[in-house]
Amino acid sequence: MKWRFPVLGSFAVLALCLFALPICAQTAAVTAKPVAPHRYDITKEVTLTATVSSVVKTPTREMNLLPGSHLMLATGSGKLDATLGKYAMRNAGVLSITPGQQVRVTGVVTTVRNQQVFVTRLVQVNGQTYKVRNEHGVAVAPVSGKSNRSAYTNGGQL
């Protein structure tokens, strides 16, 4: 999608982009040719530990990131974009991570739109494990209500 604004609204556009509202979503060339499937391959999973350099709950157009939330990780071999999918940070307090924290992530490294990304399945932080995708790479959402248990964060049972 692409937003068009009145000429006099250009300052507002800039302001909105600076403050990272979702209406400034990324625009990229649409693929027009058949592409081989990129299914999540759990046999290619790796686990790594890294420091969170930034957290992106909703990417803006300028960021040129995949939809959903992201952890920008500083690893021994450089910066890595760990994409968390649709639901990891949907509700406040579900998965709360701040820059500077150490995290352990499990997922698959792949290339999308000519960029290397880490498709994350598990995030371990503060001794708890958060499942953001299942073994098929399908984004999952936390069960939150009905009971008092904090099932989403009982990492030992994942």
Partner 1 sequence: MKRGTLLVVLVALCILGNAACGGGSIFRPGEKSANFTFYAIGEDAAAPVYCVAGVVAIANNASKDGTFAVTGGVQDYNNGDTITSPQPNGDAITGGNLSVGSNGTAVLTIITKNPAVGVDGTETFVGVFPNNSHALITQFDGSATSSGSLDLQTSTALPSGSFSFTSAGAFSSDGETFAPAAFGGVLTVASGAVTGTVDTNIGGDVNLGTSISGVTFTKPNKFGRGTVNGLTSTHSNLNYYVVGPEVVRFIDVDSATFDTAVGSAYGQGANPNFSSGDLGPAVVFSFSNAFTGYAAAGEFFTFADDDVSKPAKVPVVREGAPACSGTGTCLFEALGDLNELFAATPIQLVDTNFEGSFQLPANGYGTMTFEEGFGDTANFGLYGVDPALNILDPNDKTDTTGGNLIAEMDDSLVGTGTIVPQTDTVVADFSGTYAGGGSGDTNEGDEFDFLTLATVTEPDGGFSGPVALSDPFGAITGAGQETVDASFSGNAEPSGEAGRYSFNPLILSSPDFEGSLDMTVAVYQASASQLFWVETDPDIYFGGSLEQFPGSGGADAKKAKPNNTKWQH
Residues binding partner 1 (CB under 8 A): 1-6, 9, 12-13, 16, 21-23, 25-28, 30-40, 58-59, 61, 66-69, 85-87, 90, 108, 110, 112-113, 119, 131, 133-146, 151-152, 154, 157
Q: Minimum Å distance from CB 140 to partner 1?
A: 4
Q: How far apart are CA 158 and CA 153, in angstroms?
A: 9
Cβ-based nearer residue to partner 1, 52 or 68:
68
In angstroms, the first-to-last Cα distance of the chain is 37
**Which is nearest to 85 in space by CA: 116, 114, 120?**
120
What sign results for the dihedral spanned by CA atoms 50, 53, 56, 60? negative
**What's the CA angle centered on 136, arms 131 and 141, to 5 degrees?**
35
Nearer to partner 1, 5 or 100 (CB): 5
Confirm if 129 and 158 have CB atoms less than 8 A apart. yes
**Least distance from partner 1 to the Cβ atom of residue 52, Å:** 19
CB of 114 to partner 1, least distance (A): 12
Q: State which residue, 36 or 93, has the beta carbon closest to partner 1.
A: 36
Nearest distance from residue 10's CB to partner 1, in Å?
11
